[in-house]
Amino acid sequence: MVAFSCRLIGIRRQGRLQSCLCSGEQGGPITAAQSAKLPGDRILLGLALMAVAMFLIPIRDGLAKYMSDALPVFTIAWGTYCAAAVIAAPLAIRKHGRGAILPAGLPSQTTRTLLLVGAMTMFFFSIRTVPLANAIAAYFVAPFIAAALAPFVLKEAFTWTVAGAVTLGFIGVVVVLQPDGNFDFNILWAVGAGFLFALYMLTTRLAARQAPPLAALSYQSILGAIVLTPFALFAGLQGAGTFLSVFVLIGLLQSASHGLSIAAFRFAPASVLAPLVYLEIVAAVIVGLVAFGDWPAAQTWVGIAIIIAAGSLVALRRS
């Protein structure tokens, strides 16, 4: 699943391509023009960092799926945000001071956090019964929804290339859903999560001010834990203490993925890194096979290939 931060969403401002992930960071993302002047090994390092970040996310999701047999989904989501907050908040305060707890653009940060909380919780509902690869592939409806809504929300031009990619992407998602075969209604939770993340992408691009990534992660983690607390209490916290070490590992994976993504943008431009986000699906296949014995059906592989092709086309077109 895509992590809390808005990774790999290109924003054109003042004539240069930026990543919303790294806005506000000293020594932030580089542009494609700048990358042409960099040694090849630096770009390869950026690619390697992003690849590792993408492989960490499905491991986190696999741990959440593992706990879903014993804990309610709301409790798992709450524990995930609490673990992330315990790790991210001290790091953010150390780097940016106490102001990191309430970062710039608070109304926008709050709106985006609520969208992320909803997206992750819905995704966790999905993976209770849906294989990780299928759920993540369905979740990747997000960039296609965002691209389809961008002309109306962001007043962007909707070219034939983007229109074709969006159509192709939706076809890929429908193939993964398998409406004429072994259909699991819980996969619709993943589609709903993708829709919420698409709204998150759009609100991020609309935001006038962006907080530093670490401060944003800290605020999102703390607010997410607060928002989910009443839901977790209602669902029940019994047995959560048994999985304390798992929650700590989830928090570490979350923070490590976020940090590696930030670092990757300092060595390679968004246009180069964007297609690597689909390694998350590949990693999900591996985690699902090793941990749960799930191997995607042939139809699912076809859908995944269509989604990757369409998503890469959208990413490259926007960059």
Number of Cβ within 10 Å of residue 237's Cβ equals 16
**Structure confidence at residue 242 (pLDDT):** 94
Helix (H, G, I), strand (E, B) or coil at 254: helix
**Is residue 256's pLDDT more than 80?**
yes
Q: Which residue has the higher pLDDT, 158 or 197?
A: 197
> Residue 181's pLDDT band (boundaries 50, 70, 90)?
low
**Structure confidence at residue 39 (pLDDT):** 55
**Structure confidence at residue 213 (pLDDT):** 81
What one-letter code names the amino acid at 234? F
Residue 294 · residue 132 · CB < 8 Å: yes
Report how far residue 149's alpha carbon sits from residue 156's, in angstroms, rounded to the nearest whole number.
Answer: 9
Best mean pLDDT range from 38-42, 100-104, 295-299, 311-315: 295-299
**Structure confidence at residue 207 (pLDDT):** 66
Q: What is the mean pLDDT of residues 104-113?
A: 87
